[in-house]
Amino acid sequence: MKISGRNKLPGVVKEIKMGEVAAEVLIESGSNQIVATITRGSVEDMGLKPGDNVTALIKASSVMVMK
């Protein structure tokens, strides 16, 4: 599979907060934490659960850099 997103961060699902329509998925990638908001259906279709190895794909039109 090819994908246009170039920022790929491997991590582990730490927590999933299910809502009526959407879910927040907390991913730990190294010393960083990423929160992804995806549909509840996507969580169910993928069978996501804490402890799963995943990759966060990030494609943004605006990225800030801090030093």
pLDDT of 67 strictly over 80:
yes
| Amino acid residing at 42 | S
pLDDT digits over 19-61, tens only? 999 999 999 999 999 999 999 999 999 999 999 999 999 887 7
Burial of 14 (0-12, 13-18, 19+ CB in 10 A): middle
pLDDT value for 2: 83
Q: Show me where the domains of the chain are located.
A: 13-50
Q: Does the pLDDT of residue 5 top 80, yes or no?
A: no
Tokens of 12: 């582990």
What the block records as the tokens of 26 is 């907390």
- Give this prediction's pTM: 0.85
Question: Cα(28)–Cα(22) distance, rounded to whole angstroms?
Answer: 20
Supply 38's token pair. Answer: 């995806």
